[in-house]
Structure 1
Amino acid sequence: MTLKNYIWDFDGTLFDTYPVMLRALKQVMIKHQIHYDGDLAYFIKKYSIREFAKQYGTDALLDDYHQLETALQTQVASYPGIPAILKQIIDTGGQHFILSHRDDKTYAYLGELSPLFTEIITSDNHFARKPDPESLTYLINKYQLKLDQTVMVGDRPLDILAGQNAGIKTILFDDAGFFQANELNADYTVTKWENFKNEY
């Protein structure tokens, strides 16, 4: 195994939270009378909900979204296969970290999976947001992670860019097939976690 240190995004990578996030966003768009003709799911994957609010809404929309999303996100579950993948990597000498734009509710959502992570970074740690590599550099320096053995795993361009900016490997999780012909230049692409073999 060449990769030993896995730095995971949370939403849409480890946990299947996007359906509720999308539902919450659509509801607050109605409240704020915002109409968007494009593919909303693609927009928030390619950019972010924060960017959508910046371009088409207001800070009030973002605040309302966060409140509603928290209320609706009641049955948070990891993608099938993720618990086994995490444990397999640890069993073969690896370790895990989380780098999420979500706040400290991440800990509650992780539940019994929390002990599998060496450190969890959320928005409450106040690092610069991805794709800025500040938080990745912090982990690399704190744990003396070898760059060629460390990988950023995420579902959005900003995850891949953050890893590239930090000089580490990248794995794109693209279950919806949004990104064609590896347009993000990730080192590896996974479309179903059930097919993940930890052989990179």
Structure 2
Amino acid sequence: MVRARERRTGRVWRVRRLSRFIRTEFNTMESNYMKFRYVIWDFDGTLFDTYPAMIQAFERGLADFGVSVPRARIAALMANTLAICLETLCREYSLEPEALDERVSYYHQQTTMDQEPPFPGAMQVCERLVAAGGQNFLFTHRSRDSMLRFMDHYHMAPLFADCLSVEDGYPRKPDPAGFIALIEKHHLLREQGLAVGDRTLDILAGQGAGVRTCLFNAVPDAEVQPDYVIQTFAELETILGVVDL
């Protein structure tokens, strides 16, 4: 009876070892079929849905000066940079940039991080890429403190191998210097990389760095064509080959 129990126990352990081996081999095979091994992400408007709060801050700041601007107009200007948005509105409505900037900043500081969450599926695609043996990187025009507060609040920091912010001193996109720095620092292969962003300048930076590009939640510029255009991160999972991992 004891020997029979030992034989059964031995069979159970062999089955468990075989099961672990199969899972490991399957994950390795899945990883080998991945089209891209790393993603260089944009922050605002790509990973995090921050634009609505920013637009509202501009609306409220402009209202303090008796100015009303359609949300679509503000959004279109912000698609370039916040600085261009501010400068253009001040020029068009004869406002002092410092004064408008102060009011916009005041209202935006009242926004909580819960009002600027990650886009649906953003965390999942980052998790699945890491689980498949890939890496996430981030290059943003935000300050490091602001970036880390968001990443820590939403528990996303461990999913990123490296993040560059404005303090790192690289030129703003569309200059590819920040992307190139990440590629060279981590000895990445350009043919295995994908840059994901929501603006033309993100696509130009990726193209300048020699990686493939993916435009999220936007219409491509007629003169700057990305390799992929997506509206959801479920589509990105398919592109990366990390579906159901």
TM-score (norm 1): 0.88
1:90 to partner: Cα distance: 0.9
The correspondence for 2:89, drawn from 56, 59, 76, is: 56
The correspondence for 1:91, drawn from 112, 131, 145, is: 131
Q: Kindly report which structure 2 residues correspond to 1:73-88, keeping only aligned pairs within 5 A, or say none.
A: 73-75=112-114, 76-88=116-128
User: Following the alignment from structure 2 to structure 1, what is the Cα–Cα distance between the partners of residues 212 and 190?
Assistant: 8
The correspondence for 1:109, drawn from 138, 141, 150, is: 150
The correspondence for 2:104, drawn from 65, 73, 77, is: 65
2:39 aligned counterpart, secondary structure: strand
2:113 and 2:150 in contact (8 A); partners too: no
User: Following the alignment from structure 1 to structure 2, what is the Cα–Cα distance between the partners of residues 130 and 63?
Assistant: 25
1:170 aligned counterpart, secondary structure: strand
1:73 to partner: Cα distance: 3.6
1:53 and 1:59 in contact (8 A); partners too: no
Larger Rg: 2
1:17 and 1:73 in contact (8 A); partners too: no
Does residue 76 of structure 2 align to residue 42 of structure 1? yes
User: Following the alignment from structure 1 to structure 2, what is the Cα–Cα distance between the partners of residues 192 and 182?
Assistant: 21
User: Following the alignment from structure 1 to structure 2, what is the Cα–Cα distance between the partners of residues 15 and 145?
Assistant: 25
Larger mean CA deviation between 118-127 and 150-159 belongs to 118-127
1:106-153 deviations in Å (ceiling 9; x for gaps): 111112110110111112222211111111111111011111111211
2:59 and 2:68 in contact (8 A); partners too: no
- Please, what is the CA RMSD of the aligned residues? 2.1
1:65-86 deviations in Å (ceiling 9; x for gaps): 2343232143131111111111
1:96 and 1:118 in contact (8 A); partners too: yes
1:169 partner letter: R
* More helix per residue: 2
1:182 to partner: Cα distance: 6.5
Does residue 61 of structure 2 align to residue 28 of structure 1? yes
% of aligned pairs identical?
Answer: 30
TM-score (norm 2): 0.73
1:79 aligned counterpart, secondary structure: coil
Larger mean CA deviation between 181-190 and 148-157 belongs to 181-190
Structure 2 gaps of 5+ residues are 1-33, 91-96, 241-245
1:183 to partner: Cα distance: 5.6
Name the residue aligned to 1:166: 209
Structure 1 gaps of 5+ residues are none
2:200 and 2:221 in contact (8 A); partners too: no
The correspondence for 2:169, drawn from 121, 126, 147, is: 126
Name the residue aligned to 1:199: 239
1:186 to partner: Cα distance: 0.5
Larger mean CA deviation between 164-173 and 35-44 belongs to 35-44
1:118 aligned counterpart, secondary structure: strand
User: Following the alignment from structure 2 to structure 1, what is the Cα–Cα distance between the partners of residues 103 and 175?
Assistant: 26
2:109 aligned counterpart, secondary structure: helix
Aligned residues: 196
Give the structure, 1 or 2, with the largest relative contact order (CA under 8 Å, sep 6 or more).
Answer: 1
